[in-house]
Amino acid sequence: KVADRVFSGIQPTGVPHLGNYLGAIESWVRLQDEYSSSLYSIVDLHSITIPQDAGTLRQNILDMTASLLACGINPEQSVLFQQSKVSEHTELAWILCCLTSMPRLRHLPQWKVKSSGQKDEGSLGLFTYPVLQSADILLYKSTHVPVGEDQIQHLELAQDIARIFNNQYGCFFPIPKAILSETKKIKSLRNPVAKMSKSDPQTLATVNITDTPEEILLKFRKAVTDFTSEVTYDPETRPGVSNLVAVHTAVTGMTVEEVVHQSKGLETARYKYVVAEAVIEKFAPIKNEIERLRAEKGFLEQVLNRGAEKARELAGPMYHDIRKLIGF
Ligand code: ADP
Ligand code: NA
């Protein structure tokens, strides 16, 4: 019986930022209860498509593990694992590469954006990155994939590759469906038309969930807004203030209307403190738990080893069937 199965991955960027949490991790935690099976992968193979220092990468994998656990990913309920420990991911990726055309990949936005800054247009790994993502999803016959808007085209690639495989080798993979994030993209606090991102070079632009209350206050105090002092929600004309409202609704569960109503008469300069306080309150217990878990290296490694074992138990038989279909 193929039950509904959720799969998603996150790069080992260390501790998640506000956008990662509100746009992805928070819904992963909810989906654990809603689906009969869920797999969450720390995608270290993806992360080396851009240069990484070995020691930093190793620490970032542990920090992301601690963070996911602290955010509420339950390793008894979900398979939480490190991608590179399950070799079938790269083996299936190779097979899928052989079914994917170069023009199909060349038009994906991530390649255009990330390769443009690199000399020689980026590596072959960066180019085939979305095929590895497809392998991640399909290896477990996943049926549902939580994605942000920016990832929809990559999921469409996985759907196309599944169809191509099924046409050639007989119906094998379910076509995975997107679970679109309800949370609006969280924007950079310094440039509220760009998304908040780990790779943003601007200091104070990105709030990490382990930032101290002082750091969080400072970052919100310095958040770019505009010359109107009222709190209103209009992402087109007032991206800065609207981003604050978006963060506020996401961390409190209030609606935009409720937030705007509650903030009547409040100047944006004052409102920034209200949002910062809400963020501090929301993340205080998670921050404490991350710090506690970070000190438990042995425990984190044990969680990852157990997760890899469980993932291999699923991937092994699946890949065995795939080999037979291919003719290996
Ligand atoms: P980053 O851009 O910081 O490297 P990733 O691309 O690794 O983040 O994203 C990991 C997950 O977090 C993805 O599911 C992505 O959609 C989500 N995510 C990243 N940035 C944001 C954001 N600013 N707002 C909402 N979700 C985000
Ligand atoms: Na990314």
The answer to whether the CB of 114 is under 6 A from ligand 1 is no
**Given pLDDT bands bounded at 50, 70 and 90, which one contains residue 118?**
low
- CA angle at residue 120 from 117 to 106, to 5 degrees? 80
Query: What is the pairing mode between strands 37-42 and 144-147?
Result: unpaired
Residues serving a catalytic function are 114, 195, 198
Summarize pLDDT for 288-302 with one digit per residue, the tens. 999 999 999 999 999
For the segment 139-157, the average pLDDT, to the nearest whole number, is 94
The answer to whether the CB of 41 is under 6 A from ligand 1 is no
Summarize pLDDT for 67-96 with one digit per residue, the tens. 999 999 999 999 999 999 999 999 999 999
Q: Mean pLDDT in the chain?
A: 95
Predicted TM-score (pTM) of this structure: 0.94
Residue 113 has pLDDT above 50, yes or no: yes
Strand order in the sheet with 79-82: 79-82, 37-42, 5-10, 144-147, 177-180
The answer to whether the CB of 19 is under 6 A from ligand 1 is yes
Summarize pLDDT for 157-184 with one digit per residue, the tens. 999 999 999 999 999 999 999 999 888 8
Looking at all shown ligands, the one closest to residue 195's CA atom is 1
Summarize pLDDT for 219-257 with one digit per residue, the tens. 999 999 999 999 999 999 999 999 999 999 999 999 999
CB 195 within 8 A of CB 151: no
Model ipTM value: 0.93
Looking at all shown ligands, the one closest to residue 199's CA atom is 1
